[in-house]
Amino acid sequence: MEKKIALLKGDGIGPEIVDSAVRVLEAVAAKYGHTFEFTPHLIGGCAIDATGAPLPEETVKGCLASDSVLLGAVGGPKWDTLPGHLRPEKALLGIRAAMELFTNLRPAKLYPALAGDCPLRADIVANGFDLMIVRELTGGIYFGERGMREGKYGEEAYDTECYSRMEIERIGRVAFETAQKRGKHLCSIDKANVLESSRLWRKVMHELATEYPDVELSDMLVDNAAMQLVRNPAQFDVIVTSNMFGDILSDEASQLTGSIGMLPSASLGSTSRGLYEPIHGSAPDIAGKHIANPVATILSAAMMLRYSFGMAAEADDIVRAVDEVLEAGCRTADLAHGAPSMSTEEMTDAILARL
């Protein structure tokens, strides 16, 4: 197959980890007889520096003209004091919206080789965990009406959480279908004891449940879910939740795997074109030091092969290679606990050697 892949390397460690993933994709292309054509575009702080805007029009066009998009990370202290609409993070929200990527899949599983890195008690770790967070990505409070105004106590700022039935239904369907392909348990997480938007969320999820009788649906309040994730993560199969709750809970879940440097993500819409990125940020403190963990981005590339290109065998191959390097004891600094560790490039080489 021939595929056009847009590369949004971004800021901080973004270029290093995207370069690693590109090397892996090229190896897979050679092994399986595919051709991947990579086209870089600017996003985030580097785009602000070069063009004045965090998400140049050219970047949006390039992504929409591609078969899929691989993104590193955006942001850094240099751009932290810019007004909201000019911040690098705005570009991330902007490209998700422009590509209509309303689904964000964030898998978190415990690698046996990293069991010792899980911060939980040994008896909890012994049960392992393998969960998938389905996060709504283009609605809710991150996209709601916001502003500044004069209120009861003077100057105030506000953001609003709003979900339409349509938005809940379409993410709900993805979640039920995801659960059908996994352990057939879906936990919908909300704050229905307080929020009106959560009450509609819960109602719609239960209406959908009648169409998916093979999936067992449960509800959980988000505060309880944050606790249950550290008390007994093995209870979860698929989680579906709103944009903000999913953002927060997926960072929590990532730490259970040992390092946020391990978690990939896929952002999908209603076409096969997706955007794939590690869930971690640009880590400006370690940028250019060649110590970033490339695994989350490499696994994101594997998700691209699986979800956008239908290349399941190729994706499985990458996942296997990552499993093997971890089993072999290969570690980047984030997982080395001060012991000697591999550089970004050495870790990538180790994965390539097993492909």
Q: Which residues bind ligand IPM (CB under 6 A)?
A: 89, 92-93, 247, 279
Give the residue closest to Mn ion by C-beta.
247
Active-site residue, from 9, 67, 191, 212: 191
11 or 247: CB nearest Mn ion: 247
6 or 215: CB nearest ligand IPM: 6
Token pair recorded at residue 73: 């990370």
Specify whether 223 is catalytic: yes
Contact 138, 104 (CB under 8 A): no
> How many residues contact Mn ion, by CB under 5 A?
1
Specify whether 130 is catalytic: no
E strands within 198-286? 216-221, 238-241, 266-268, 275-276
Site string for Mn ion, 239-258 (x = CB under 5 A): --------x-----------
Shortest distance (Å) from residue 88 CB to ligand IPM: 8
d(CA 302, CA 312): 9
205 or 279: CB nearest ligand IPM: 279
Q: Among ligand IPM, Mn ion, none, what does residue 92 contact (CB within 5–8 Å per kind)?
A: ligand IPM
Q: Report DSSP letters for 9-69, one per residue.
A: EESTTHHHHHHHHHHHHHHHHHHHT-EEEEEE---THHHHHHHSSSS-HHHHHHHHTSSEE
Shortest distance (Å) from residue 14 CB to ligand IPM: 12
Contact 112, 326 (CB under 8 A): no
Specify whether 142 is catalytic: yes
Specify whether 67 is catalytic: no
d(CA 37, CA 225): 42
Token pair recorded at residue 290: 């060649």
Specify whether 251 is catalytic: yes
Active site residues: 142, 191, 223, 247, 251
Residues at the site binding Mn ion, with contacts judged by CB under 5 A: 247
